[in-house]
Amino acid sequence: MGLMPSSASTLLPAPGAPGATGAAPETAQQEATQLRELPDHPWALVVWDDPVNLMSYVSYVFRSYFGFEQAEAHRLMLLVHEEGRAVVATGSHEEMERHVEAMHDFGLWASLQKVGG
Amino acid sequence: MRPFRRMGDRLDAELEGAEARLIVNLAAQLITLLRDRSGDADEAHSVDSEGLDVFARLEQRGPRSISVDPVLARLLPDAYRDDEQASAEFRRLTEPGLIDRKVAQLRTVVADLTSIETVTEEDAEDLPVDLDEAGAVAWLRAFTDLRLALASRLGIEPETPRGPEEPDEDTVGLLAVYDWLGLVQESLVAALQGEPLG
């Protein structure tokens, strides 16, 4: 499982954010579709912020499920909270589908998508 | 309520009878909603009719597309945000298991509280809740789903994290329940991780 130590926030920049898509103004959907069509790129597990789940609980899920150290779990939780979403893991399609299902078991709001190069 | 604390490998708390019944009632309603979704009518309409039926409003007419029921849409979200077809296929494969596990967690909470109530003396003020780690994890997940369902019913969204600006009386009451469930859950998260309550 390829975990993203520090570059998670730059992997999936918000549409329109600096460096997000280059010059052309594209919608998030167009962008995502293009990413998906690129072969041989890993998939990403994205956890989205929600106003319900306790920050302590999200940290706990990252620790107990992914085995992150407390500091890393806390950092990723804050990233989700402050950026609205964060890539929490990358890897094969099957792996990321398993993670998404596990996150939904925990009640976290998660999805998977292709990562750009 | 006395919040959860860790005692060795156990996690214990105390709930008032009314608090325990409230949790059981909410859990039973959510079980019904999830079971209806999965087409298993066994437990449908088994909820105490005198209880507050907070999720009933969400049982909408017409085909049970995930998109028309905000509680189910939040508990069973799409796995692909940009690919309807992939989401539908993923849902077909995983949703029955996800529902079964969510129902099982809620049933664990109901069974724990029901059995505690049975063995506790009638005049006792508080019900002692005493969980092992596995039980605590089930409670934690079940409380998450209850809070997500209540939040959906209350209109708690990223733009409105405290619900409607001018809540009616029912909403104020449910917000209090929602906040209280959050307190219980917060203490359980801390206790599970072995942290002393601050």
* Mean pLDDT for the stretch of residues A24-32: 51
Domain count, chain A: 1
Contacts of B79 (CB under 8 A, 6+ apart): A97, A100, A101, A104, A110, A111, A112, B86, B87, B90, B91, B94
CA distance A16 to chain B (A): 17
Domain residue extents for chain B: 2-192
Instruction: Give a yes or no: residue A29 inside a domain.
Output: yes
- Digits of tens for pLDDT over chain B (198 positions)? 999 999 999 999 999 999 999 999 999 999 999 998 887 544 444 444 444 556 654 444 333 445 568 899 999 999 999 899 999 999 999 999 999 999 999 999 999 999 987 777 777 778 999 999 999 999 999 999 999 999 999 999 888 888 888 888 989 999 999 999 999 999 999 999 985 444
B156 vs A52: CB contact, 8 Å cut-off?
yes
Whole-angstrom CA distances from A46 to A34, A63, A76, B83, B176 are 17, 16, 11, 15, 31
Q: Among B78, B79, B102, whose Cβ lies nearest the Cβ of A97?
A: B79
CA torsion, ordered B187, B192, B196, B198, to nearest 10 deg:
-30
Tell me A22's DSSP state. Answer: S
Residue of B nearest to A35 (CA): B82
What residues of A are in contact with residue B102 (Cβ under 8 Å)? 105
Instruction: Give a yes or no: residue A22 inside a domain.
Output: yes
Burial of B50-71, coded b for 16+ CB within 10 Å and e otherwise, reads eebebbeebbeeeeeebeebbb
Q: What is the pTM of this model?
A: 0.79
Q: Is the pLDDT of residue A116 over 90?
A: no
Q: Which residue has better confidence, A12 or B163?
A: B163
Q: Number of A:B CB contacts under 8 A?
A: 79
Which candidate in A53, A105, A109 is best for mutational testing of the B interface (most B CBs within 10 A)?
A105
The neighbour count for residue A88, using CB atoms within 10 Å, is 28
Instruction: Give a yes or no: residue A106 inside a domain.
Output: yes
Give the CA angle between residues B86, A53, A7 to the nearest 5°.
65
Instruction: Give a yes or no: residue A3 inside a domain.
Output: no
Confirm or reject contact between B120 and chain A (CB < 8 A). Answer: no
Q: Note down the domain range covering A56.
A: 8-114
DSSP code string of A48-66: E--SSS-HHHHHHHHHHHH
Dihedral sign from CA coordinates of A85, A89, A90, A91:
negative
Span A58-79, pLDDT tens digits: 999 999 999 999 999 999 999 9
Confirm or reject contact between A49 and chain B (CB < 8 A). Answer: yes
Q: Among A56, A109, A111, whose Cβ lies nearest the Cβ of B186?
A: A56
Give the CA angle between residues B76, B81, B83 to the nearest 5°.
110
What residues of B are in contact with residue A32 (Cβ under 8 Å)? 81-82
Give the CA angle between residues A61, A65, A67 to the nearest 5°.
105
Confirm or reject contact between A93 and chain B (CB < 8 A). Answer: no
β-strand partners of B10: B7
Of the candidates B149, B133, B138, B148, the residue with the CA atom closest to the CA atom of residue B53 = B149
The reported pLDDT for the residue numbered B40 is 55
Domain CATH number, residue A70 = 3.30.1390.10
Tell me, what's the ipTM?
Answer: 0.85
Q: Is the pLDDT of residue A97 over 90?
A: yes
